[in-house]
Amino acid sequence: MTAQRFALRLLAGYRPSAVQRMALATQNATTQRRALATQNVTSQTTADSGELYDVVIIGGGPAGCALAAALGSLDSLSRKRVALVDPGKLSEMRQWTPPADAYLPRTLQITSSNKRYLDNLGLWQWCFEDRVQAYNRAVVTDALGGGAVDLAAMTLHGRNDTAFMVETKNLVSGLLKALDHSSSCVDVVERARVTEIEATPSMWPVVTLSNSRRLQARLIVGADGASSRVRKYAGIGTYGTEYAQYGLVATLCLEQLNSSAFQRFLPSGPIALLPFPGGFANLVWSLDSELVQLLKTAPEAIFADLINAAFRLTPAEMGYIYSLLRSGVDPDIIGAEVAWRLDVFARNNPDTNIKLPPRVAALSPRSRTSFPLRMRMVDSLVANRVALIGDAGHVMHPLAGQGLNMGLADVQCLAQVLEQAAAAGEDL
């Protein structure tokens, strides 16, 4: 029964059944959604609302670039208009040339399933793959109990790589290059900061940028980090805790090649050594603010000695060495003390090398940096015409390296939902 015939019968005193009323409501709702979905945003611009987009992604970090590249690679979304907005210089990031003799300290661990997702979309190939390290073994030890777990991946379908280590700049640069080489309608808006997000009578929010551009969107995606402005606009609450610790990261040069990950739990916080090609490694060491400052300012040779010690010596011995640092003892004396204790450890534990990482030979110059550790979750990842991905929706301890992996799970889920909506002719 059409809506017109239904209305005429109502005038004649006809009483519809509940099923008929529900069917008519569904028909009207579907018609409205499809009317919205078929509005062409390719060239629409109004003086009040600004440029019209289907999706505006705020934030050009790993999660935001991954979503933009994913949407740009899907044929079903090829007619949708997408904008990627970031205050940084994304064109320079796209043209990033890696240093020949060093790795950057800001790194990411990508699970094999997320790597396959990027591979299947044709995105991973744009990274410098010779700078990516696959690994399939992780050794975890406990400084207090002496326990150890040696985790090795099983071979499945001819593959046994558990995870991949990649520099953050390498991944983001590759994703931006993938956008360049796609035939998508993704506009990259760089050097533009969000100054305001406001609702409009049309229900499509408007994003005002520092370059005076105004972008109106069916959907705004917040990929703008832990202090997300998009999340605040949507009124989405957060909860969590501060760990009162910092993550100290650095690039290390090892005495030998390595393709395994190592982690040791210390009373002061876990320390992890993650492999990179060519005998390089990434360090992530969780410490309180006082120790972080102490170790960041220690001579590089002493810092390398302390990493070797942290994987081998007892917590009491580490506490004594920290006290020497606090007291301003001559670095040569501290170095000799650490070397002697490591020598004693090696003589007393001749069969433990398989559970220990290769010794650190040196530290990449000026590679030490730190960041606060916290946990943040949100009440909801979605609101009216808003979705959150990556750190905008969840921040976690780097202990298991799952931060971006959860962000990439957000990307997969959101891209799938948008693809399904587009295929059904629905409003995004």
Task: Report pLDDT digits (tens) over 212-227.
Answer: 999 999 999 999 999 9
Backbone angles phi, psi at 220, to 5 degrees: -105, 130
- Comparing 306 with 31, which gets the higher pLDDT? 306
Tens-digit pLDDT profile for residues 366-378: 999 999 999 999 9
Report the greatest alpha carbon distance in the chain. 101
pLDDT value at position 42? 46
Contact 402, 410 (CB under 8 A): no
* Integer CA distances (angstroms), 137 to 275, 351, 394, in order: 10, 19, 27
Contact 371, 286 (CB under 8 A): no
Best CA proximity match to 372, nearest among 400, 395, 406: 395
Residue 25 in tokens: 């409501």
How far apart CA 393 and CA 412 sit, in angstroms, is: 15
Contact 105, 281 (CB under 8 A): no
As a whole number, mean pLDDT of residues 4-8 equals: 41
Instruction: Specify which residues 252 forms β-bridges with.
Output: 281, 363
Best CA proximity match to 122, nearest among 81, 175, 173, 162: 175
pLDDT value at position 183? 64
Q: Which residues contact 106 (CB under 8 A, 6 or more apart)?
A: 167, 168, 169, 249, 369
Best CA proximity match to 290, nearest among 322, 338, 316, 330: 322
End-to-end CA distance of the chain: 28
Q: Which residue has the tokens 């406001």?
A: 198
Number of neighbouring beta carbons within 10 Å of residue 147: 10
Residue 286 in tokens: 């969780």
Model confidence band, residue 154 (pLDDT cutoffs 50, 70, 90)? low
DSSP reduced 3-state for 209: strand
As a whole number, mean pLDDT of residues 7-25 equals: 42
pTM of the model: 0.86
Q: Strand 271-275 vs strand 280-287: parallel, antiparallel, or unpaired?
A: antiparallel
Residue 232 CA neighbour count, 13 Å, CB half: 11
Residue 383 CA neighbour count, 13 Å, CB half: 21
Residue 95 in tokens: 């043209």
Considering only 27-31, 177-181, 396-400, which range has the smallest mean pLDDT?
27-31
* Integer CA distances (angstroms), 400 to 200, 366, 423, in order: 42, 25, 37
Contact 285, 298 (CB under 8 A): no
As a whole number, mean pLDDT of residues 369-396 equals: 96
DSSP reduced 3-state for 236: coil
Using CB atoms within 10 A of its CB, is residue 74 exposed (0-12), middle (13-18) or buried (19+)? middle
Is the model's pLDDT at 402 over the cut of 60?
yes
Residue 114 in tokens: 């997320």
pLDDT value at position 160? 67
Is the model's pLDDT at 23 over the cut of 60?
no
* Integer CA distances (angstroms), 65 to 105, 132, 147, 221, 256, in order: 20, 19, 41, 12, 35
Contact 357, 377 (CB under 8 A): no
Residue 21 in tokens: 């009323």
- Comparing 321 with 9, which gets the higher pLDDT? 321
* Single-letter residue type at 155: T
Residue-averaged pLDDT of the chain:
87
Instruction: Specify which residues 264 forms β-bridges with.
Output: 141, 271
Backbone angles phi, psi at 333, to 5 degrees: -70, -40
Q: Which residues contact 153 (CB under 8 A, 6 or more apart)?
A: 136, 137, 160, 161, 162
pLDDT value at position 48? 58
Tens-digit pLDDT profile for residues 269-323: 999 999 999 999 999 999 999 999 999 999 999 999 999 999 999 999 999 999 9
Number of neighbouring beta carbons within 10 Å of residue 106: 14
Is the model's pLDDT at 10 over the cut of 70?
no
Using CB atoms within 10 A of its CB, is residue 324 exposed (0-12), middle (13-18) or buried (19+)? middle
pLDDT value at position 427? 82
Instruction: Specify which residues 187 forms β-bridges with.
Output: 83
